[in-house]
Structure 1
Amino acid sequence: MSARSGGGGRELTVRLKTAKKRTTSQQRWLERQLNDPYVARAKRDGWRSRAAYKLIEIDDKVRLLKPGQRIVDLGAAPGGWLQVAAKRIGLEKGQGKIVGIDLLAIDPVPGVAFIQGDFTAEDAPDRLKELLGGEADVVLSDMAANATGHKQTDHLKIVYLAELAIDFARQVLAPGGHFLCKVLQGGTEGQLLADLKRDFTTVKHIKPQASRADSSELYVLAMGYRGLPAAGSGA
């Protein structure tokens, strides 16, 4: 491993020597992690991932999370958003409930219920609502599909994930509830955005500063869920 100096004697940028078993993309990812101030800050502050700062920044702007809410976090691993949500709703004081779900296991977050499994499973909405003790006030999703490097393919994958998350949110959100989901720039155009505007009173995009500058990710925030149409309404 080597480093570049900024001229004042400080080592500013860490460079890794190329390893034979490491791909170019892995090399770039490792260098980016080592030089990311949010990664170091997360370790100091006790957050499990740099993504915690994205939710903190969004919540500071829109006041999404409130004491006593029922929260669902889709794709919750490694648990950074669970930590933030727990703090913001007062979980340590016995206020609210949080359920996280992910295909990957995570270390327990105090007070948080966790399901290791697929949120698209047929019984997942009912399991989540049972653990919450009712419908959710907020559904969070920071899920991201594994990147292929092919822009159009990655775009389609993230749109598909967002569609699945939206469908899930419709099944578990209480009327008036909110939905926050990671997408890519251009990822909520067309029918997807139209559906959100139909089902929620307010829809907007947010790109927190904690998102990497070279990343095309942003978040769609849909607030004020109108609820599922009544049976036989023809909607």
Structure 2
Amino acid sequence: MPFRPSAFRLSHKNPPSSQRWLARHFKDPVVKQRLSHPDNYRSRSAFKLLELEDAYKFLRHADVHTIVDLGAAPGGWSQVAAAKMGWKVEDAGLQRAEAVADGERALKTAEGKREKLRQDEALTMNKRFGLKDSAKRARAAAGWSTTPDPDSDPLDELGLDFDESPKTPPGTVTKGRGTVIGVDLLPIYPIPGVKTLKMDFLASETADYIEALLPPESEGKVDVILSDMAANFSGNRIHDVQSSLDICHAVFEFTHKHLRTAESIGRTRGGVLV
């Protein structure tokens, strides 16, 4: 599922400040690069990490097997880290194109035309009852007389609680050499090679959860720690400064305990904190 933001129209409905921000936003060269990039990065900060990687080459080493991304949402840095470790989704667009072509070929047959007519009738009937699009597609594809899914909720016949997000991105997943662990208060859409924790990093138990996800051979150590965390501004300068210091202190403590050293790796620029 590509994360391409929709272009907002600059209309009179938006206040002047919003119109100016949107105008600057869509003139931003990094935003333009993100919209056209084939990897569909979820945040413009992903290109900042790519620039650091091009300059210092700390992600591409073969001995980098475990990366922890703190403040990972929406997942731009985790996408870059996983890709540098060899995780990727291949031929997703090609598979969709082939599926469309197969469907067009099927419609050329008499059976295909009858099936299309049946689906159109089912969709028309569903519209009368106000079903969600996800439920309409499922009912049209499976038919009205199929055996219900044993995992489905019998009280949710209208599909009101249906999760439209796929569990994994479409395409063929190529397995990488290690694991990325992403931590954030906000949910993160699945990324191949990334394990996510929806937790507060400042909570005392979060470090234990992260350590539990580390591979046994790592002995509780990680090769790279990424942190793009920032506290929400409250408007109170003292409170905001203290919140930032709390985050820095927590990241430093986690790094001191879990980051692998250059000496243990046996090369310079080993054990990186960004």
Q: Which TM-score tier does this pair reach, normalised by the shorter chain?
A: 0.5 to 0.7
What are structure 2's unaligned runs of at least 5 residues? 1-7, 88-173, 263-270
Code of the aligned partner of 2:29: P
- Cα separation, 1, equivalents of 2:26 and 2:234: 22
TM-score by length of 1: 0.61
Aligned to 2:23: 31
Aligned to 2:252: 166
Q: Does 1:136 align with 2:222?
A: yes
Equivalent residue of 1:136, what SS? coil
Aligned to 1:95: 177
Relative to structure 1, the CA distance from residue 122 to residue 139 in structure 2 (aligned partners, 3 Å threshold; closer, same or farther) is same
- Alpha carbons 1:15, 1:31 under 8 Å: kept: no
Aligned to 1:145: 231
Relative to structure 1, the CA distance from residue 120 to residue 156 in structure 2 (aligned partners, 3 Å threshold; closer, same or farther) is closer
Code of the aligned partner of 1:131: L
Aligned length: 165
- Alpha carbons 1:72, 1:136 under 8 Å: kept: yes
- Cα separation, 1, equivalents of 2:24 and 2:239: 23
Equivalent residue of 2:223, what SS? strand
Aligned to 1:51: 45
From 61, 75, 86, the equivalent of 1:79 is 75
Q: Does 1:179 align with 2:261?
A: no
> Which structure features the higher share of strand residues?
1
Query: Percent identity over the alignment?
Result: 41
Relative to structure 1, the CA distance from residue 138 to residue 30 in structure 2 (aligned partners, 3 Å threshold; closer, same or farther) is same
Aligned to 1:3: none
Instruction: Please say which structure displays the higher CA radius of gyration.
Output: 2
Relative to structure 1, the CA distance from residue 51 to residue 126 in structure 2 (aligned partners, 3 Å threshold; closer, same or farther) is same
Equivalent residue of 2:181, what SS? strand
Relative to structure 1, the CA distance from residue 16 to residue 162 in structure 2 (aligned partners, 3 Å threshold; closer, same or farther) is farther
Code of the aligned partner of 2:45: A
TM-score by length of 2: 0.53
- Cα separation, 1, equivalents of 2:240 and 2:251: 17
- Cα separation, 2, equivalents of 1:95 and 1:84: 14
Code of the aligned partner of 1:123: E
Code of the aligned partner of 1:87: A
